[in-house]
Amino acid sequence: MRRVVFNQKGGVGKTTILCNLAAISASRGLKTLVVDLDAQCNASQYLLSSGDLQAAAGTADFFEDSLARGKSKRTLDEFITPSPFENLSVMAAHPDLEEIRVKLEARQKIYKLAGALEKLEGFDAMYIDTPPALNFYSRSALIAATNCLIPFDCDDFARQALYTLFDNIEEIREDHNEGLIIDGIVVNQFQTQAKLPARVITELREEGFPLIDTQITSSVRVKESHDASVPLIHGAGSHKLTQQFVALYDELAKAATRKKK
């Protein structure tokens, strides 16, 4: 399974959801890899110590290597760094990703990541983090992925963006990745007492959007988890928010099992 968590709108909790799902996957005994394609490096900073992050080769190096003349001698394993958490590794991002994007587009390297991840052995699950934009890296991720999870924060602007988002994903699926499965829309930062989120969710269901049953609420625990660089399953295992992420993970796993049958 290679899951991309993607939304073109920023601030919807994409990286937080991805890192916590990956950490839960690893805690269940699955060899798990996080691939960070966002030049902001948020996923990498969340899961790696500052020392490991500074020393790590990662996605920028991988793509730079793909631009080199002649056949590369470096294997994908050389761009992967073990995290402090058992079974969890990271292909770290770097700000240089933005600088080399134009070169990658010009050299038509859009399938490079998909080919490399398909050949990579030793991992049971992969989670791909993307920038909040439909650019070379997010397209590469959608082409490389088997599954796509869409975070949504019940904002009217975010709702309007969903229509474009689904159109873009469908175009990529038709042209490049027919097997891509849309896991559904996960509502993040849900406010249980507010009327607007409940109304928006009801209307989206009526329009036929695939909303996931599990919802993620807001909590200061998220910022504390980011500051400590410790995913919630390791730093606050019994907290309500952590259990919501566990429920989301289990719901996605059950859906995948049903589809296999």
Which token pair is 46?
Answer: 């969340």
Would you write out the chain's pLDDT as a tens digit for each of its 261 residues? 999 999 988 888 899 999 999 999 999 999 999 999 999 999 999 999 888 888 888 999 999 999 886 666 688 999 999 999 999 999 999 999 999 999 999 999 999 999 999 999 999 999 999 999 999 999 999 999 999 999 998 776 777 788 899 999 999 999 999 999 999 999 987 777 677 778 888 888 899 999 999 999 988 999 999 999 999 999 999 999 999 999 999 999 998 877 665
| Interstrand relation of 147-152 and 88-91 (parallel, antiparallel or unpaired) | unpaired
Per the CB < 8 A criterion, the answer to whether 248 and 186 are in contact is yes
pLDDT attached to residue 70: 66
pLDDT attached to residue 74: 83
Q: Nearest CA to 159 among 206, 127, 219, 193?
A: 206
pLDDT attached to residue 111: 95
pLDDT attached to residue 261: 55
Strand order in the sheet with 2-5: 81-82, 88-91, 32-36, 125-129, 2-5, 147-152, 181-187
Distance CA 122, CA 107 (A): 29
| Interstrand relation of 181-187 and 147-152 (parallel, antiparallel or unpaired) | parallel
pLDDT attached to residue 197: 77
Q: Give Cβ neighbours of residue 153 (< 8 Å, ≥ 6 apart).
A: 11, 12, 13, 187, 188, 189
Distance CA 25, CA 124 (A): 9
Look up tokens 């996960």; give the residue.
186
Per the CB < 8 A criterion, the answer to whether 43 and 177 are in contact is no
> What structural domains and CATH numbers belong to the chain?
2-260 (3.40.50.300)
- Per DSSP, helices labelled H in the chain are 14-27, 42-47, 50-55, 59-67, 96-106, 112-119, 136-144, 156-175, 195-206, 221-228, 232-235, 240-260
pLDDT attached to residue 72: 61
